[in-house]
Structure 1
Amino acid sequence: MFGELEGTGFEVIEPEFKACFIGHARVERLWTGARWSEGPAWFAAGRYLVWSDIPNNRMLRWDETDGSVSVFRAPSSNSNGNTVDTQGRLVTCEHLTRRVTRTEHDGSITVLASHFDGKRLNSPNDVVVKSDGSIWFTDPSYGIMMDYEGDRAESEIGACHVYRIDPDTGTVETVTTDFVKPNGLAFSADETELFIADTGGTHQKDGPAHIRKFQVGADGKSLTGGAVFATCTNGFFDGFRLDRDGRIWTSAADGVHCLDPQGRLIGKIHIPEFVANVCFGGRKLNRLFITGTTSLYSVYLNVNGIKR
Structure 2
Amino acid sequence: MNKPSKTALALSALLFAASSLFAQIEDKKGIVAKGAELVKVQDGFSFTEGPAINRMGDVFFTDQPNDKIYRWNSNSNQITLFKEGAGRSNGLYFQLDGTLIAAADLNNELWEIDQNTGEGKVIVSSFRGKKLNGPNDVWVRPKGGLYFTDPLYPRDYWEGIRGKEAEQDGKHVYFLSADRTELFRVAEDLTQPNGIVGTPDGKTLYVADIGAKKTWKYDIQEDGYLTNKTLFCEMGSDGMTIDERGNLYLTGNGVTVFDKSGEQIAHIPVPENWTANVCFGALDRKTLFITAMGSVYTLKMKYRGVW
TM-score, normalized by length of structure 1? 0.87
Q: Which amino acid aligns with 1:302?
A: K
In the alignment, which residue of structure 1 is the partner of 2:219? 215
SS at structure 2 position matched to 1:55 = helix
CA gap of 1:209–1:58, structure 2 versus 1, over 3 A, is: same
- Shift in Å at residue 44 of structure 1? 2.7
Q: Which amino acid aligns with 2:189?
A: D
Q: Is 1:11–2:11 an aligned residue pair?
A: no
Q: Please list, as runs of the form range in 1=range in 2, the aligned pairs for 1:20-59 lying within 5 A after superposition.
A: 20-45=31-56, 47-59=57-69
- Shift in Å at residue 261 of structure 1? 0.7
Aligned length: 286
Aligned with residue 177 of structure 1, among 167, 170, 188: 188
Which structure has the bigger radius of gyration? Answer: 2
Preserved contact between residue 50 and residue 59 of structure 1 (Cα < 8 Å): yes
Aligned with residue 198 of structure 1, among 209, 216, 220: 209
In the alignment, which residue of structure 1 is the partner of 2:97? 87
Preserved contact between residue 42 and residue 84 of structure 1 (Cα < 8 Å): yes
In the alignment, which residue of structure 2 is the partner of 1:203? none
Q: Is 1:72–2:75 an aligned residue pair?
A: no
Preserved contact between residue 143 and residue 202 of structure 2 (Cα < 8 Å): no
Q: Please list, as runs of the form range in 1=range in 2, the aligned pairs for 1:181-260 lying within 5 A after superposition.
A: 181-200=192-211, 208-217=212-221, 219-232=222-235, 236-253=236-253, 255-260=254-259
In the alignment, which residue of structure 2 is the partner of 1:126? 137
- Shift in Å at residue 75 of structure 1? 2.1
Counterpart Cα distance in 2 of 1:297 and 1:9: 16
Counterpart Cα distance in 1 of 2:303 and 2:97: 25
Q: Deviations over 1:121-169 (max 9, x none)?
A: 1100000111122011000111xx1316886522111311111111124
Preserved contact between residue 106 and residue 157 of structure 2 (Cα < 8 Å): no
Q: Which amino acid aligns with 2:280?
A: F
Q: Which amino acid aligns with 1:146?
A: R
TM-score, normalized by length of structure 2? 0.87
Preserved contact between residue 38 and residue 291 of structure 1 (Cα < 8 Å): yes
Coordinate RMSD, CA, aligned: 1.9
Counterpart Cα distance in 2 of 1:128 and 1:169: 15
Counterpart Cα distance in 2 of 1:148 and 1:300: 37
Q: Deviations over 1:187-244 (max 9, x none)?
A: 12322111000111xxxxxxx1121011112x24121122221122xxx411111111
In the alignment, which residue of structure 1 is the partner of 2:108? 98
Preserved contact between residue 189 and residue 246 of structure 1 (Cα < 8 Å): no
Counterpart Cα distance in 2 of 1:258 and 1:283: 22
Structure 1: where are the runs of 5+ without partners?
201-207
Counterpart Cα distance in 2 of 1:248 and 1:34: 27
CA gap of 1:149–1:289, structure 2 versus 1, over 3 A, is: farther
In the alignment, which residue of structure 2 is the partner of 1:147? 156
Preserved contact between residue 123 and residue 141 of structure 1 (Cα < 8 Å): yes
Counterpart Cα distance in 2 of 1:49 and 1:229: 28
In the alignment, which residue of structure 2 is the partner of 1:272? 271
The range that moved more, 116-125 or 62-71, is 62-71
Structure 2: where are the runs of 5+ without partners?
1-16
Preserved contact between residue 58 and residue 73 of structure 1 (Cα < 8 Å): yes
CA gap of 1:107–1:23, structure 2 versus 1, over 3 A, is: closer
Counterpart Cα distance in 2 of 1:66 and 1:196: 34
Identity of aligned residues (%): 30
